[in-house]
Amino acid sequence: MKQFLTAVLLLSAPAAATAQEGPAPCTASAPASLPANLSGWAHPVAVTAARDTAGAGRVTLLPGRGAAVTLSPTPRVDYPVRPEHPGGTVSRGGVLSFDVTSPGDYRIASSSSAWIEVARGGKTIPSTAHGHGPACSGIMKMVDFKLVLGRYLLEVAGNGQPTISLMVVRMP
């Protein structure tokens, strides 16, 4: 329960802000038991992020299902919208897509502090909150967005490692 409360203690965020949070402290020897809406995090599918908008349409994340995402060197990524924090040349990034079939609040969970942007129609969507994941869950940060029906692009920028775990979560 305490871990779940940690998960939902998100901070309100000003427009476009997806500020990083430090990881929740982990003192347990076993992985956290995740709340139901994050349970898909534990069984990720492997995908390779695209390097541009066209490719992103072929790499679709399913809400509620985790993904182990392989990224590309940042200089090889052509972002549809330039990320607010672009990442250095030695970092990794990529573009994916996901579909919103019911409007509402969505959460992007990430295993690292990489910069997360959700874009549509050539513009980024302002985030509504940010925070960190449950202790020992492997979720470093979570960013919330209010989304309407349609397809969205998920931009990942400035990741320090070649891979990242991501999950799109429909919030109740």
Partner 1 sequence: MTRAAPNIVLLVGIVLLACAAATRPDWHWRLPPGWTPPPVPADNPMSATKIALGRRLFYNADLSIDGSMACATCHEQHHGFSDGNATHSGVHGEPGRRNVPALANVAWMPSLTWGDPRVRTLEAQLLIPIAGTHPVEMGMNGHEDEIAERLGTDDCYRRMFRAAFPARDGAIDMTTVADALAAFERTLISDHAPYDAWRAGDAAALSPLARRGARLFFGPAGCAECHAGPNFSDGAFHAIAPAQSHAADRGLGEITGRASDDGRFRTPGLRNVALSAPYLHDGSAPTLRDAIKAHGEVARVPENDLPALTAFLAGLTDPRFVQDTRFSLPDYACGKRL
Q: Enumerate binding residues for partner 1 (CB under 8 A).
A: 11, 13-17, 19-23, 74, 82, 84-92, 112-114, 140, 158-161
* Nearer CB in complex with partner 1: 55/87: 87
Stated as kind and residue range, the H or E segment containing 153 is: strand 150-159
Phi and psi at residue 39, in whole multiples of 5°? -65, -30
Q: Min. distance of Cβ 88 from partner 1 in angstroms?
A: 3
Q: Min. distance of Cβ 62 from partner 1 in angstroms?
A: 27
Q: What is each CA distance from 156 to 8, 142, 169, in whole angstroms? A: 22, 13, 16
* Nearer CB in complex with partner 1: 57/73: 73
Angle formed at CA 35 by CA 164 and CA 49, multiple of 5 degrees: 20
Q: Min. distance of Cβ 17 from partner 1 in angstroms?
A: 6
* Contact criterion met (CB below 8 Å) for 90 and 139: no
* Nearer CB in complex with partner 1: 21/39: 21
Return d(Cα 38, Cα 66) in angstroms, integer: 8
Q: Min. distance of Cβ 143 from partner 1 in angstroms?
A: 12
* Nearer CB in complex with partner 1: 1/15: 15
